[in-house]
């Protein structure tokens, strides 16, 4: 069996995403600061492609979630890159990081102070700051909002597309949040990035060819973290000209066998996808700074 790379082009752009982008553009003049949420494991793939066009020149905090699951050595290169571009970057594990809320609020209050100083100079009354929370599906926006509010204010799910519409949420007397559904783009031009998004749950699994996705994961892991494949599956090298031997080895190692010892390739595909998502292949960062 030869590896058939990218046999299925990934395009997933539900109607609510197009509507969301229109609504954000209509409301952007009401927004004072942007909380751009991206996944630390894919610092390029999980960025909205046209984010700069969407938010104009608003002050921005890049919040890199799931930092506890990434390859920090590689992700930290992106942190330095985005900071060199003038952005404030906050890395966090939203489930356990107690400092993330104070860091975000401190940075936001700095913007609030400057904003109200300008309003006072114009003879205007001070007001609360308005922050837009934006990102691709399933990067942790709802979890972030709940941490900021201190209670369950946004629905959380492990599948993309849970939030469907824009909604205002008050954190305190000084800050209001505008929550937004996850946004992708009409055509995923970079299929490598599209498969990274699919591999880490930003695109619904139902629309993805499981074979193609699992082979993409093998390809990326063989290139970036070959030692992990050896540790998990006992694979020394992946032969992409004839992938059968690799799939057979995984089937035997992980018990994906049918009666009579026949290999259950569908189960092998599921195992590979699950192992990446559940961190059983170790901490990974699927993007590299050289790709920018």
Judge if 86 and 35 occupy the same domain: yes
CA dihedral 11, 13, 18, 24 (to 10 degrees): -90
- Please report where in the chains the tokens 């092998």 appear, as a residue: 268
* Stated pTM of the model: 0.86
Whole-number Å distance between alpha carbons of 80 and 174:
30
What whole-number distance in Å separates Cα of residue 202 and Cα of residue 185? Answer: 12
Which tokens belong to 122? 């114009």
pLDDT digits (tens, 9 = 90+) for 40-70: 999 999 998 888 888 888 999 999 999 999 9
pLDDT tens-digit series, residues 187-222: 566 788 889 998 998 777 667 789 999 999 999 999
User: Does residue 204 form part of some domain?
Assistant: no
- Residues 55, 104, single domain; the answer is yes
Q: How far, in whole angstroms, is CA 263 from its chain's centroid?
A: 33
Q: Residue 32 is part of a domain; what is its CATH number?
A: 3.40.50.300
Whether residues 86 and 144 fall in one domain: yes
Find the mean pLDDT for residues 80-86: 95
| Residue 58 belongs to domain spanning | 15-179
Same-domain status, 99 and 19? yes
Q: In angstroms, rounded to a whole number, what is the distance separating the alpha carbons of residues 218 and 212?
A: 10
* CATH code of the domain covering residue 223: 1.10.1580.10
Look at 104 and 5; give whichever has higher pLDDT.
104
**Number of separate domains in the chain:** 2
Whether 193 maps to a domain, the answer reads: no
Least confident window among 3-12, 23-32, 206-215, 265-274: 3-12
- 171, 46: one domain: yes
79 found inside a domain: yes
More confident residue, 155 or 260: 260
**Mean pLDDT for the chain?**
86
**pLDDT of 66:** 94
Residue 242, classified by CB atoms within 10 Å of its CB into exposed (0-12), middle (13-18) or buried (19+), is exposed
Q: What is the mean pLDDT of residues 149-177?
A: 67
Q: Is residue 198 part of a domain?
A: no
What b/e readout covers 269-291, taking b as 16+ CB neighbours within 10 angstroms? bebbbebbbeeebebbbbbeeee
Q: Give 250's Cβ-side CA count (13 Å radius).
A: 23
* Overall average pLDDT of the 65-85 stretch: 96
- Are 21 and 139 members of one domain? yes
Q: Is 198 helix (H, G, I), strand (E, B) or coil?
A: helix
């Amino acid at each position: 069996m030869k590896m058939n790379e990218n046999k299925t082009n990934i395009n997933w752009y539900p109607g609510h995403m197009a509507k969301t982008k229109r609504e954000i553009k209509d409301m952007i003049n009401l927004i004072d600061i942007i909380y751009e949420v991206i996944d630390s494991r894919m610092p390029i793939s999980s960025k909205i492609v046209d984010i700069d066009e969407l938010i104009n020149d608003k002050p921005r905090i890049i919040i890199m979630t799931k930092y506890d699951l990434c390859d920090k050595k590689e992700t930290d290169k992106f942190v330095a890159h985005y900071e060199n571009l003038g952005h404030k970057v906050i890395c966090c594990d939203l489930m356990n990081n107690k400092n993330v809320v104070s860091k975000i609020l401190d940075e936001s209050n700095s913007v609030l102070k400057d904003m109200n100083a300008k309003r006072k100079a114009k003879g205007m009354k001070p007001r609360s700051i308005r922050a837009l929370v934006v990102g691709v599906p399933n990067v942790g926006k709802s979890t972030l909002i709940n941490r900021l509010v201190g209670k369950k204010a946004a629905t959380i799910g492990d599948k993309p597309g849970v939030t469907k519409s824009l909604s205002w949420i008050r954190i305190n007397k000084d800050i209001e949040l505008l929550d937004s559904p996850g946004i992708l783009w009409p055509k995923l031009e970079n299929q490598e990035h599209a498969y990274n998004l699919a591999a880490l749950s930003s695109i619904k699994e139902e629309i993805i060819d499981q074979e193609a996705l699992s082979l993409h994961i093998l390809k990326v892991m063989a290139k970036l973290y070959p030692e992990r494949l050896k540790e998990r599956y006992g694979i020394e090298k992946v032969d992409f000209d004839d992938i059968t031997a690799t799939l057979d080895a995984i089937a035997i190692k992980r018990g994906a066998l049918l009666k009579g010892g026949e290999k259950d390739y569908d189960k092998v595909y599921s195992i590979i996808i699950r192992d990446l998502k559940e961190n059983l292949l170790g901490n990974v960062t699927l993007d590299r700074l050289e790709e920018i």
